[in-house]
Structure 1
Amino acid sequence: MKIYLFILSLFFCGLSYSQTSISGSVKDSKDQPIPGANVKVAGESAGTVTDSNGNFTLTTTKKPPFDLEVSSVGYGSSTVSVTSNNQNVTVSLTEQETQLDEIVVSASRAPEKVRESPVTIERMTIRDIKKSASPTFYDGLENLKEVHMNTSSMSFKSINTRGFATVSNNRFMQLVDGMDNSSPLLNFVLGNLIGVSEIDVANVELLPGASSALYGANAFNGILFMNSKNPFKYQGISAYVKYGSTNQRAAGSNDYRDYGIRAAHKFNDYFAAKANFTYMKGTEWYATDYEDYGAPGRDRSHHNYNGLNVYGDEVSTNIRGVALGMLNAGVITPAQYTVFNAILPNENVSRTGYNEVDLTDNEVRNAKIDFSLHLRPFGNEKLEVIWQSKFGFGNTVYQGANRYYLNGFFMQQHKLELAGKNFFLRGYFTTEHGGQSYDMRFTGINVNRAWKPDATWFGQYAATYVQSTLGGATPTQAHGLARGAADTGRLIPGTPEFQSAFNSVIANPDVLSGSKLVDNSKIYHSDGNYNFKDLVKFAEIQVGGSYRLYDLNSFGRIYTDTEEFGGIDYDEYGAYTQVMKKFMDDRLKFTGSIRYDKSQNFDGSYSPRVSLVYSAGQNKNHIFRGSFQTGFRNPTTQDQYIGFNVGNAVLIGSAPDNLLRYSETLPVNTVAGQAFAGGATTVMNGEDAYYNSYTSSSVLQFSALAGTDPVAAAALLRRTNVDLVKPETVKAFELGYRGEVKGFSYDINGYYNIYNDFIGNITVVSPFYGTAQDSPSFTAGPTDPGFQTLHALTNGNTRNYQLYTNTDIEIKSIGFGVGVSKKVFKDFELGANYNYAEFDFDQAKDPSFEAGFNTPKHRVKATLSNDKLFKNFGFNISGRWSDEYLWQSTFADGIIEEATVIDAQISYGIPSLKSTFKLGATNLGGKEYKQVLGAGAIGQQYFVSLTINP
């Protein structure tokens, strides 16, 4: 109540202030209006922007005479004198070819011209968003130099810069109005699920490469800044509506809708507010890759088929071993067992799975709501108090070790910030709720088990195989007849019986019978910065710091936060300072910074950065830069505390206190195995995974040779020898040039990165009994611990684990990019860029470690646009090409084929209605392509949109 009265009193005080009002218009040299131009009082914070017709009205408490400063991206600035109240002015801006004078903030945490940026920086402005041929501005980021997208879902795109990224890219940070919008549970950005509406975007800045010196642990390979419009500056009601269709061979043609509205108002110089709402709905890109990547060439006719986008067929067992279980259960007699054991092949058989498209509603939905209150106690930018709340709801598909349908997923953020000319102090928290989200793999597995237990299904399969063989069937025929008999009564998608079982499974969080993902995790974060430039004159000095607390709560479903062990909380903090100084008539700029960070579970680390920028040429339009910096990445919450059964393996985080937090009781096969294990079951935990296991690569080699030469096969086994996970580091060297030559604008950069203690995954196989060792003796006898592990491997008495660790092998990456732009004829703008990226990792020295570079070696992008083609008409065509590359992830490994994609749009402005129509199409060539192995192939998208701006 006190806050309300305080705001109200300021409001009435503001009304009593004498105000000066100025109106006018801003046009270019051809007398065409310039929308979105900045108009501000010289030396003051009061300002506004022009509407779609180039008109503006500005009120200020300053009395004439004073000057107005007018500027816009792509134009030179202009100053006009105001001598009286209610004066009407007309301002003409001259177009500029150079973009070197555009202002950016992110590279040095302070406003500076692009020419002075110490590192590579990419930008997307309001004008770029209006020209984009992509369905959303976030999709349009893919046309920026250095950006490669990993598309898991129509509404879930993950940005990849400089490699080493899957869908879960936790080496990349994304800030929206200063808030990290990574998922507290998953530790990575969920695209624009809880981001910003495109009609509320003020600008977007991208820093590819390490940025830990200023932004801390997760700014390892890049950071994206999305800044929304301030209601003091951007007022009125804006709205957009998009309608169109998506086209894919698997999904057909389906409607696509996207709506948004923004309302902002400046009540006076002291108080302003805004609110946004957006809603998008469409049909997901169907994931229909049914290749068996574990055994290329297999199709559904194979008895041990395991398709990529098929779930339930991961349940597989040796069919000969089933006979012993039937004997022990009294299903068959000893005499029958002899027959079964003689006829059944020593082969694995998998259950019949369900296609992914039958396990989701294939709808993608996203709603975003946000509002903010802005208070300026002194009526200017000396101090602004901001309360901001953001809410994101939706359905989308996330791909990690499995494919997950985030159904009714809800995430929210709330921020309180104090910002001034030279400082900011903010605190925010992020929380999320899993809704009705579920794991598709366990959905398929447990729907199968709901109608017929595994033991029953495999028993029927074995019995029918034997009967068919005795009746004269060939092995192929016997397998077919056996599957048909075992599948009798199988639940068919679309039937009430299937739907009932499906609903029961996705509502149950127990992996033994359900697939629901449960989550209510939170992040609490605060950070601040102060710039001493008004107090210290010899150089520009900044200091800052941050603190973060993780509060994990998956109810034991994903992390080891079970009732037995309790919740998981840990924190991290950091502090930094930066010095900037110009020399040689401001041609040479030095920037040096260093940051210290400490996470609760790891030693502290320092991240320095040093850079030099030199502006050559008479007009300082040839800018050379060089920098060295180090970056680091703390292991994520998953790396440390996950304890997640994904069916074919268990993911075990390696925080020292986590190894005993996860355990499971597993059945032991064969009487001999039960004797070694001390019973029919055994208890396995994280210590078994890390300290008593074999590398999966050596187990594969063993399995391939064990049937013909068991002694030689045993000699191939290698005990897992890994350390618990620790932070990874990078040393980043970068050189660059920005400049203009004969009307061409160039941006060239090259980088060389050296990674140490690179965090990754290793899959291991832990025996139920015995002691894992290099080359165990096959002839040592049953009392030997090494021999016992061979028995376990041979009889399926093992558990697969995915561990989180660091490789001792140094990884290097090198890359360069070239961007060029020019106005080629009148108002036609041509832009093109090329990127090369490569990495060096000696796989032979660590064969079980996957680096997961997941980046094309060559990428080419180009755009041709003219937003003044003729009166009120504009167009944009963009194209991009990337060559094929190896995709590595915990879900699947394989080749992503090369792709060529062309997008286009035409627009028509209606100044009298302050509106713009746009007709757009993506992937005009029609050839479907993938960016993620396991995700749906991306088809075509057509849309028409109407945007109304004040």
Structure 2
Amino acid sequence: MKTILKILMLFCCAYSFAQTTVKGTVKDNNGQPLPGANIIVVGTTTGAISDFDGNFNLSVDQDPPFTIQVSSVGFQTVTQEVTTNPQTIDFIMKEGTELDEVVISASRTPERIFESPVTVERFGLKAIKNTASADFYDGLENLKGVDINTNSLTFKSINTRGFATFANTRFMQLVDGMDNSAPALNFPLGNLLGMTETDIQSVEILPGAASALYGANAFNGILFMRSKSPFDNDGISGYVKRGITSQEAAGNNDYTDLGIRMAHKFSDKFAAKVNFGYLKGTDWAANNITDKDMVGGTRANNLNYDGLNVYGDEVSTNINGVAQLLEGLGLAPPGSSTLVPSVDVSRTGYDEADLTNYNAESIKADWGLYFRPWGDDFEIQYVGKVGSGNTIYQGANRYNIKNFFLQQHKIEVRNDNFFLRGYVTEDKAGDSYDMVFTGININRAWKDDETWFGEYVASYIGATLGGANDAQAHFAGRQAADTGRFLPGTPQFQNAFNNSINDPDLTTGSKFQDNSKIYHADANYNFTHLWDAVELQVGGSYRRYELNSFGTIYTDTDGPIDYSEVGVYTQAQKNLEINENLQLKLTGSIRYDKSELFDGFFSPRLSAGLTVNENHNIRASFQTGFRNPTTQDLYIGLDVGRAILIGGASDNPARDIRNYSLSATGAALLGQSNIDFDGQGAYNNSFLASSVLAFAASGNPADLEIGNSGLVKPEQVTSYEVGYRGKVEGFVIDASAYFNQYQDFLANETVIAPFYGDVQLTQTIPGTATPLALAAIAEGDSQVYQTYTNSDADVNSYGAAIGVSTKIFNGFDISANYTYTKLDFDVLANPDFRTNFNTPEHKFKASFGNTSLFENFGFNVAWRWSDNYFWEASFGDGEVPAFHVLDAQINYRIPSLKSTFKLGATNLLQDEYFTAFGTGLVGSMYYASITINNL
């Protein structure tokens, strides 16, 4: 026994002698400590991370000699041999350029951005720490080719290359591989379920079509956010930002944003982390009283006024028809209807500020457990995410998203060569409500529409008979009809408001209900380590939707709607060395996707990159993309007042059944006072809405055009792109140009379906030559629909972008970029077709800064300018004027406290602007922040 113990002690001693200690510091070429640098023993997974002061301490289970490698994003990698035990090594990292940064998104494998086969924009740790924006997500707006449309303080929509609304279903957002779109909406709510600033490893944006690798929704671009691994970055870090938002409409209001990250590496086999973020402020108030139909700016000069941010005034009617009805019922003097003009009059509405408190709030948390059973790169992960908050969303109407809740749970198995992941995303609408219907139904709570218009017309007639002129009679009519109106701030108003926002029936309330889910699984395997001839990857994905809005958004009154999609893909890459100065990288990809609702699609991509003298890379690519219709494209059935939004899935129109009251003429013709009518009329018996307006003006039936929108099917795009990346005498240049051709473009069409008669005008009123459908339109026995369909119109877009950056005056970073985007579409030939391009033709951005102006002090200034453009969306169409924005920040590092202090301001020049017609003006923000131990 003693002998065995001696032998064991001998082995322990031998093991202890095999421990080699390496310590030192990592600094940049300005002598500043470089935190977060990766130190790794070449050929192993043993490594360490430099701390806030650039220090590291590494214990290695082997004797010298061996080699360690130090790398950090934005710096050239350094290696050095360890020859003694212990050994102290101080590394000086020479700053590289953007071309040296590594990206993963373009090819699903790590590669220098210099060699990427397609355009990629990267926002690394250095850019995140030095952004002049209030947070990293806003800072993405300074990248070339990137648009951020500001819906509200806490909800911003990212897009590239045009065709965007706030419901941006053409752009995908992935967080650690998970699509964080809200299932009910089919698009992400900004960074609600995104990441806290201290946990970000990198952000990449892949503009344009990427269906060959990423599937159906990777149509216009993808945002990739990757978090820090607790194995590589452990410890506690956090930040606090305090300041104010300043807007003319809302005044000055407090702003708070804080986050904390806690990560711990328990051993080489197990690590965990937790993140928490909280933001609270006051949203940008929307108070645009512009008349939507542009007839007049205020109620005073338009009887049928419908203010952009005024709700309840969407309800209107022709008062001559009301007068005829009153006269027919004996409630008005005989012949009095001739005194009433045939004009539309709308009810008096409420300002948006009366229907929301503009509370902007975001609470999010995520946690992860990471297990490496063999202490190498094989890893098993469980990640959970939750997010809740209050924001404003502008879709078909303006919505107060209140206590909205979103959660994700992921299990992933991966190593350097493969991953297999599955996750579920679930949303709950919370206390969200439609502000337009809130205004409408507060009005109806104190006086129904028939009574209001009846009182209006009766008073108009009385005033006219008393000698009043038309304007005076209209004033008297509105004054009488508005008697008893619930005024904001009164108990009656508050009671009606509360009743409306808690009632999901849009005829009486405005509550937004939903509890939808997405189940997703995907996998990828890279065979490169098995086969040197070519880098080969294969992968696939599966997704199942479970829509459950309780009949408030979708046609799911009889239970949840389920459907699924599946896809498989492969990619091959090959590097060819033509000579010592020329290298050619070829990439080919193809993907097949199939939705259970549609035929399958192949999406190929081909690209070539030619590297010349290691400083110049020329790339060209051909790629295709497709977009399956979204959940709303397929199964929406939502009455937004102006129209019913009706999805184009083959089984959807028949599911939207509503009961309507018929006019006296309709009741006489059909022998009934009411009719059940479903959405099939929008797709098989309808007129184009624009043609009905033309017919109303001319009285000529020849002006009518049959609508009959086609049922929806997938949209396709073919994209051609060329680009250049290189370094020329200290200037880093990245330029690209593209041309996109769309087929079966997904969009909306507005049609009007008569309750009786055919749109071919073959059915007539018995004993007359008058078509039944014309009678239905004339009597108001019809329904306006906004259909989801495809257009056979030619839709093309093209554009170009160039970015240039360099260092001047020995350390000052300066960069500038320009983006050109153009829609090629004949609007006049397609008046009923809306592309929702919503993108300025010209954008220019520039930044100037220095991370070490003097010891521990840095600054950054960012300026951007946007050309004017026309915004079109279901809520409203209008011009977005050109605007320019200046953001700035100064920062000071205190190494002894492992902290960075920052003072910053956004929209420093206080020129308020908006990026979408109907939203509040974006004001200024002033803040101070402290970030502690952010590696």
With the shorter chain as reference, the TM-score category is over 0.9
Cα deviations by residue, 1:769-815 (Å, 9 ceiling, x for unpaired): 21113xx599x766579722222222222211000000001211110
Decide whether the 8 Å contact of 1:365 with 1:395 is kept in 2. yes
Farther off after superposition, 671-680 or 841-850: 671-680
The partner residue of 2:887 within 903, 921, 930 is 903
**Alpha-carbon distance in 1 for matches of 2:850, 2:775:** 71
Cα deviations by residue, 1:308-352 (Å, 9 ceiling, x for unpaired): 111111111111222344456x5x44xx35343122211111111
SS of residue in 2 equivalent to 1:232 = coil
Q: Report the alpha carbon displacement of residue 357 of structure 1 after superposing the two structures with TM.
A: 1.2
**Alpha-carbon distance in 2 for matches of 1:157, 1:58:** 42
**Alpha-carbon distance in 2 for matches of 1:73, 1:528:** 27
In the other structure, the counterpart of 1:12 is: none
**Alpha-carbon distance in 2 for matches of 1:678, 1:735:** 66
SS of residue in 2 equivalent to 1:341 = helix
SS of residue in 2 equivalent to 1:660 = helix
Structure 1 letter corresponding to 2:49: V
In the other structure, the counterpart of 2:717 is: 730
In the other structure, the counterpart of 1:166 is: 165
- The answer to whether structure 1 residue 457 and structure 2 residue 441 are counterparts is no
SS of residue in 1 equivalent to 2:771 = helix
In the other structure, the counterpart of 2:363 is: 367
Cα deviations by residue, 1:550-596 (Å, 9 ceiling, x for unpaired): 00100111001112xx3200000000000000112571000001000
**Alpha-carbon distance in 1 for matches of 2:223, 2:529:** 29
SS of residue in 2 equivalent to 1:845 = coil
Decide whether the 8 Å contact of 1:757 with 1:810 is kept in 2. no
- The verdict on how the C-alpha distance between 1:949 and 1:674 changes in structure 2, with shifts beyond 3 A counting, is same
SS of residue in 2 equivalent to 1:100 = helix
**Alpha-carbon distance in 2 for matches of 1:504, 1:148:** 39
SS of residue in 2 equivalent to 1:514 = coil
Structure 1 letter corresponding to 2:340: L
Decide whether the 8 Å contact of 1:285 with 1:937 is kept in 2. yes
- The verdict on how the C-alpha distance between 1:347 and 1:66 changes in structure 2, with shifts beyond 3 A counting, is same
**Alpha-carbon distance in 1 for matches of 2:585, 2:791:** 38
Q: Report the alpha carbon displacement of residue 83 of structure 1 after superposing the two structures with TM.
A: 4.0
Q: Give structure 1 stretches of 5+ with no counterpart.
A: 1-14
Decide whether the 8 Å contact of 1:461 with 1:486 is kept in 2. yes
RMSD: 1.7
**Alpha-carbon distance in 1 for matches of 2:822, 2:484:** 52
In the other structure, the counterpart of 1:598 is: 594
- The answer to whether structure 1 residue 807 and structure 2 residue 809 are counterparts is no
Structure 1 letter corresponding to 2:448: P
In the other structure, the counterpart of 2:314 is: 314
SS of residue in 2 equivalent to 1:859 = strand
**Alpha-carbon distance in 1 for matches of 2:601, 2:488:** 53
- The answer to whether structure 1 residue 303 and structure 2 residue 303 are counterparts is yes
With the length of structure 1 as denominator, give the TM-score of the two structures: 0.94
Identity within the alignment, %: 55
Structural mapping, 1:188-227, within 5 Å = 188-227=187-226
Farther off after superposition, 460-469 or 595-604: 460-469
Q: Give structure 2 stretches of 5+ with no counterpart.
A: 1-14
In the other structure, the counterpart of 1:688 is: 681
In the other structure, the counterpart of 1:583 is: 576
Q: Report the alpha carbon displacement of residue 926 of structure 1 after superposing the two structures with TM.
A: 1.1
Structure 1 letter corresponding to 2:739: Y
**Alpha-carbon distance in 2 for matches of 1:941, 1:557:** 37
In the other structure, the counterpart of 2:826 is: 842
- The answer to whether structure 1 residue 743 and structure 2 residue 736 are counterparts is no
**Alpha-carbon distance in 2 for matches of 1:17, 1:286:** 68
Structure 2 letter corresponding to 1:678: G
**Alpha-carbon distance in 1 for matches of 2:864, 2:527:** 44
In the other structure, the counterpart of 1:104 is: 103
Structure 2 letter corresponding to 1:115: F
Structure 2 letter corresponding to 1:133: A
In the other structure, the counterpart of 1:656 is: 650
Farther off after superposition, 675-684 or 550-559: 675-684
Structural mapping, 1:467-486, within 5 Å = 467-486=462-481
Decide whether the 8 Å contact of 1:573 with 1:598 is kept in 2. yes
Q: Report the alpha carbon displacement of residue 474 of structure 1 after superposing the two structures with TM.
A: 1.2
- The answer to whether structure 1 residue 569 and structure 2 residue 562 are counterparts is yes
In the other structure, the counterpart of 1:519 is: 514
Q: Report the alpha carbon displacement of residue 85 of structure 1 after superposing the two structures with TM.
A: 5.4
The partner residue of 1:934 within 909, 918, 926 is 918
**Alpha-carbon distance in 2 for matches of 1:785, 1:596:** 54
Structure 2 letter corresponding to 1:611: S
- The verdict on how the C-alpha distance between 1:448 and 1:547 changes in structure 2, with shifts beyond 3 A counting, is same
Decide whether the 8 Å contact of 2:289 with 2:297 is kept in 1. no
SS of residue in 2 equivalent to 1:518 = coil
- The answer to whether structure 1 residue 678 and structure 2 residue 636 are counterparts is no
Q: Report the alpha carbon displacement of residue 635 of structure 1 after superposing the two structures with TM.
A: 0.3
In the other structure, the counterpart of 1:6 is: none
Structure 2 letter corresponding to 1:753: N
Decide whether the 8 Å contact of 1:76 with 1:94 is kept in 2. yes
Q: Report the alpha carbon displacement of residue 63 of structure 1 after superposing the two structures with TM.
A: 4.8
**Alpha-carbon distance in 2 for matches of 1:90, 1:498:** 70
Structure 2 letter corresponding to 1:654: G
**Alpha-carbon distance in 1 for matches of 2:152, 2:741:** 32
**Alpha-carbon distance in 2 for matches of 1:17, 1:686:** 80
**Alpha-carbon distance in 2 for matches of 1:337, 1:681:** 29
- The verdict on how the C-alpha distance between 1:849 and 1:469 changes in structure 2, with shifts beyond 3 A counting, is same
Farther off after superposition, 451-460 or 621-630: 451-460
Decide whether the 8 Å contact of 2:74 with 2:100 is kept in 1. no
Structure 2 letter corresponding to 1:685: D
Cα deviations by residue, 1:60-97 (Å, 9 ceiling, x for unpaired): 5455432211122332211123345554321111223x
Decide whether the 8 Å contact of 1:464 with 1:485 is kept in 2. yes
**Alpha-carbon distance in 1 for matches of 2:131, 2:445:** 49
In the other structure, the counterpart of 2:7 is: none
- The verdict on how the C-alpha distance between 1:794 and 1:888 changes in structure 2, with shifts beyond 3 A counting, is same
In the other structure, the counterpart of 1:499 is: 494
Decide whether the 8 Å contact of 1:307 with 1:313 is kept in 2. yes
**Alpha-carbon distance in 1 for matches of 2:221, 2:380:** 29
Structural mapping, 1:765-914, within 5 Å = 765-773=752-760, 787-914=771-898
- The verdict on how the C-alpha distance between 1:581 and 1:445 changes in structure 2, with shifts beyond 3 A counting, is same
**Alpha-carbon distance in 2 for matches of 1:733, 1:930:** 32
**Alpha-carbon distance in 2 for matches of 1:60, 1:300:** 78
In the other structure, the counterpart of 1:701 is: 694
Decide whether the 8 Å contact of 2:211 with 2:625 is kept in 1. yes
**Alpha-carbon distance in 1 for matches of 2:463, 2:880:** 42
Structure 2 letter corresponding to 1:690: Y
Decide whether the 8 Å contact of 2:75 with 2:100 is kept in 1. no
SS of residue in 2 equivalent to 1:503 = helix
Structure 2 letter corresponding to 1:661: R
Decide whether the 8 Å contact of 2:843 with 2:866 is kept in 1. yes
Decide whether the 8 Å contact of 2:36 with 2:233 is kept in 1. no
In the other structure, the counterpart of 1:284 is: 283
**Alpha-carbon distance in 2 for matches of 1:296, 1:160:** 32
